[in-house]
Structure 1
């Protein structure tokens, strides 16, 4: 059996099985693909592929389906990821560019990726430690209650309500906001506490109490680590794939609910030469994902945060990889411009 034909037969089995969800036989391969050999030769090729653990027969006298090892070889031999169509690219760009802030951008990202791939889409919040302060705002909601807003350079908007003296005036808030902003605008979030301490120490005694309260709120907002959050969309797509999980989709759903599992998996996935990372079946360290595949890639200036999809191992890998990579590139562009 020649190496090129071996890969062609495997490719044909993977593509047919992904499309039909039915085990693939030699006769079907000859009819659907131009392999240039007889059905008997294909049967011999399939027997060798089965000996190598690349395909298997789910039932006696049935056709063959790919194994995790077979999918891995197929993915590793993908020469290039085909680009998305023009309309798909335009849809991604128009949807993401109209988002209002980081939360909106990431929410739109996962919904769009779930629609493009018919899988569960997941995006990890970027680490705000590398971002800087763009703007702060103090809004008097009621006597003694102020809304503290912190906007960072990557588009994230964080806020909380702080209790201040009941006699606090809007003019005092405006004065303090301006003093704080002059000190921390453009400062990286990690350095905000030190800069605020210097600013508060130089304030008039009359503003010290209120400044301490509002400054503490800003410190807490700047220290919040959004890296430890993920956003999901398309979980309902799993319900249409129950046949792809012979045991149950329960463990997969549990893994999705336990964000720490997905965060750990995404953080350790390394990109390949095509700019994506693919974990297939039992390659996933968490037992609940042993019948699932995860495709992800990094985004943003440092590419540390990940965006990707999770679905059954019977997945259209080339198309899904293209969608994940394209969405990540647009997401990075949007964040760079924000």
Structure 2
């Protein structure tokens, strides 16, 4: 496609996103300095329509972009909309005030929703990509013990185990020290093998207690498969006009299903830039008028999870891509500083 037709497509996308109204050739002449006559613009629009980049929703209306048109627009973005100094300071100030991982995730998902005016989703750092920072054992009285696992990202997982007998504090202290010596700094994939023979380090009379605690740590914390996500900004979806109403129900259903959300976020990769999936590019049924903008986050080259926003295909792609990328970078810096 030549640059002039690309400029016409770019102008149609920008005007349609801004006005929510089909765009005609007269509006393009009035609003944009395209340097050609309205007749030339009409001819370019005819070619764009014939090639499937724009369409006419009804007779005598202007044109609106198709998924193919949005894809070309996104692929040919020479730059994303830069965030202002005030926006960057606001992001840093808002996220720097977080006190723990839950607070970081909560602030991040609300910030993304506010910046983009879309529905935002943030995946908690994946347990499968984390390493152990500390294991704590707390007696709750009687035969009940609280097992606490803290990861290198600050994620805290805890379970209560009911043992066959009440352990004394010296046994819990010894087991706590051995567990931390064995598995701190190791990723979860290697924890099971490192703990395999831990009961053998204790006297026979203590091995049932040790085995019960070790099994809880492995089965309930290490081997569990589900991941957590946080969602914010679903109310933003209601402001997108009547043409998006039919998409609301399947999109809201998707936002309630964490398995679907994790699939939509995709697999985090530290080397991948912000990814945009438009309309029919989304494999999930019912989201043919929805776009998803996602990226990975994590310190250095260690991708721990994904974040992104969901909204109609008629979205401000340059601004949304910039916001998602900037927030992911700040969250990565916070996790790196706390590591």
TM-score above 0.5, yes or no: yes
Q: In the superposition, relative to structure 1, how do residues 305 and 166 fare at CA in structure 2: closer, same or farther (>3 Å)? A: same
Residue 276 of structure 1, aligned match among 274, 277, 287? 274
Q: Is the 8 A contact 2:247 2:289 kept in 1?
A: no
Provide the residue aligned with 2:181 in structure 1.
182
- SS of aligned partner of 2:246: coil
Provide the residue aligned with 1:196 in structure 2.
195
What is the number of residues matched between the two proteins?
335
1:106-141 CA deviation, whole Å, 9 max, x = no partner?
222211111110111112333323322111111222
- 1:42 and 1:36 map into 2 onto residues whose CA distance is 10
- SS of aligned partner of 1:181: helix
Q: In the superposition, relative to structure 1, how do residues 163 and 170 fare at CA in structure 2: closer, same or farther (>3 Å)? A: same
- SS of aligned partner of 2:266: helix
Structure 1, 121-130 or 285-294: larger mean CA deviation: 121-130
Q: Is the 8 A contact 1:278 1:295 kept in 2?
A: yes
Q: In the superposition, relative to structure 1, how do residues 225 and 102 fare at CA in structure 2: closer, same or farther (>3 Å)? A: farther
- 1:28 and 1:204 map into 2 onto residues whose CA distance is 84
Provide the residue aligned with 1:290 in structure 2.
288
1:179-238 CA deviation, whole Å, 9 max, x = no partner?
322222223222223323333211123432221121112112122345x43322111111
Q: In the superposition, relative to structure 1, how do residues 161 and 269 fare at CA in structure 2: closer, same or farther (>3 Å)? A: closer
- 1:76 and 1:136 map into 2 onto residues whose CA distance is 46
Structure 1, 170-179 or 154-163: larger mean CA deviation: 170-179
When normalised by structure 1's length, the TM-score is 0.90
In the TM superposition, what are the counterparts of 1:122-137 in structure 2 within 5 Å? 122-137=121-136
- SS of aligned partner of 2:157: strand
Q: In the superposition, relative to structure 1, how do residues 270 and 26 fare at CA in structure 2: closer, same or farther (>3 Å)? A: farther
Does 2:332 match 1:328?
Answer: no
- 1:272 and 1:63 map into 2 onto residues whose CA distance is 40
For structure 2, the residue ranges without an aligned partner over 5 or more in a row are none
Q: Is the 8 A contact 1:244 1:314 kept in 2?
A: no
- SS of aligned partner of 2:277: strand
Q: Is the 8 A contact 1:252 1:289 kept in 2?
A: yes
- SS of aligned partner of 1:249: helix
Provide the residue aligned with 2:87 in structure 1.
88
- 1:77 and 1:151 map into 2 onto residues whose CA distance is 43
Q: In the superposition, relative to structure 1, how do residues 268 and 148 fare at CA in structure 2: closer, same or farther (>3 Å)? A: closer
Structure 1, 181-190 or 290-299: larger mean CA deviation: 181-190
For structure 1, the residue ranges without an aligned partner over 5 or more in a row are none
Provide the residue aligned with 1:52 in structure 2.
51
- 1:181 and 1:188 map into 2 onto residues whose CA distance is 13
- 1:197 and 1:49 map into 2 onto residues whose CA distance is 64
- SS of aligned partner of 2:52: coil
- SS of aligned partner of 1:137: strand
